[in-house]
Structure 1
Amino acid sequence: MKRILTTTLLILLLASPLAQARDTRLELSLQELVDSPQAKEVGIDGSVKFYLAGQSHPAVASRMSEDMANRKTNAANKSDEEACRWVTLGILKAFQDKAKAQGANAVIDMYSYYRQKEFKSPTSYECYAGTFVAGVALKGTYARIGK
């Protein structure tokens, strides 16, 4: 009995590093994603423009509400980048739909807010990919902008 307990504890100790969750940070181009064929497939139609914090955009006629989306997706059998792109497309589609409902034609000042840590870049958003799950959190402001 003592031998079984010792063996079990040894196996658990050796296996514990494998149980540590992987959380790989990726920094990906938002514009590349918006312009991708996958964006069109999920219904991102160009009627709402997306601008990251620090990215130049046309003059703002009116600012509306701020919003945040925090989503995760199944990353199994996907590359980290593929899983990150997929989950971000879901966020962008939700932002687009909500913007249209409010009469906005843009989401401006977008930035990553994963685990309540801000990451601002005029070109990129961040995603965290694990073995089974990838996650993205974005904040932005709905706005009506000029052409």
Structure 2
Amino acid sequence: MHFPVADAAGTVDAKAKLDGSVKFYWGDQKHPKVSKTLGTDQTNKKTNAFNKGDKEACEWAWLSAMITMQNRAKQLGADAIINLQSIYQNQDFVSATEYECGVGTFTGGVALRGEFVKL
């Protein structure tokens, strides 16, 4: 399933936990010039989807993945993640506005990959 990044980023929890110290650029979104590349990494997060709608479960998994990426960026000294994309069953989903989520009866999952940089 595909969902808007803006919806997930606009939740109260996302606004509280994604502190703005790291900027996120999805797909081929334009970004300032990169001064230093610090590597590429990925994460795969799952959440309990029981008694949650698909979108709600996916937003929880998305936020968990984003927090992991934000923390990794801080560890590396990065101030941005560019070329951020979803990975589902080893297939890339590249979009400037949407992320991909696998959701079933009991779990929802979001896997992300991005390039950590200093702008």
Same fold per TM (> 0.5)? yes
Does residue 18 of structure 2 align to residue 44 of structure 1? Answer: yes
Cα shift at 1:78: 0.5
Q: Please, which runs of 5 or more residues in structure 2 have no aligned partner?
A: none
Of residues 90, 102, 107, the one that matches 1:128 is 102
Give every structure 1 segment of 4 or more consecutive aligned residues whose post-TM-superposition deviation is greater than 3 Å: none
Paired residue secondary structure (1:60): coil
Scaled by the length of structure 2, what TM-score is found?
0.93
Does residue 116 of structure 2 align to residue 137 of structure 1? Answer: no
Of residues 11, 25, 43, the one that matches 1:69 is 43
Higher relative CO (Cα under 8 Å, sequence separation at least 6) belongs to 2
Tell me the distance in 2 between the aligned counterparts of 1:62 and 1:36. 31
Does residue 5 of structure 2 align to residue 30 of structure 1? Answer: yes
> How far does the alpha carbon of each residue in 1:29-64 deviate from its partner, in whole angstroms, 9 at most, with x for none?
2233223322133x2101101111111111111111
% identical equivalent positions:
42
Scaled by the length of structure 1, what TM-score is found?
0.76
Q: Please, which runs of 5 or more residues in structure 1 have no aligned partner?
A: 1-25
Larger radius of gyration: 1
Structure 1 or 2: more helix by fraction: 1
For residue 88 of structure 2, what is the aligned residue in structure 1?
A: 114
> How far does the alpha carbon of each residue in 1:40-92 deviate from its partner, in whole angstroms, 9 at most, with x for none?
33x21011011111111111111111001111111001110000000110111
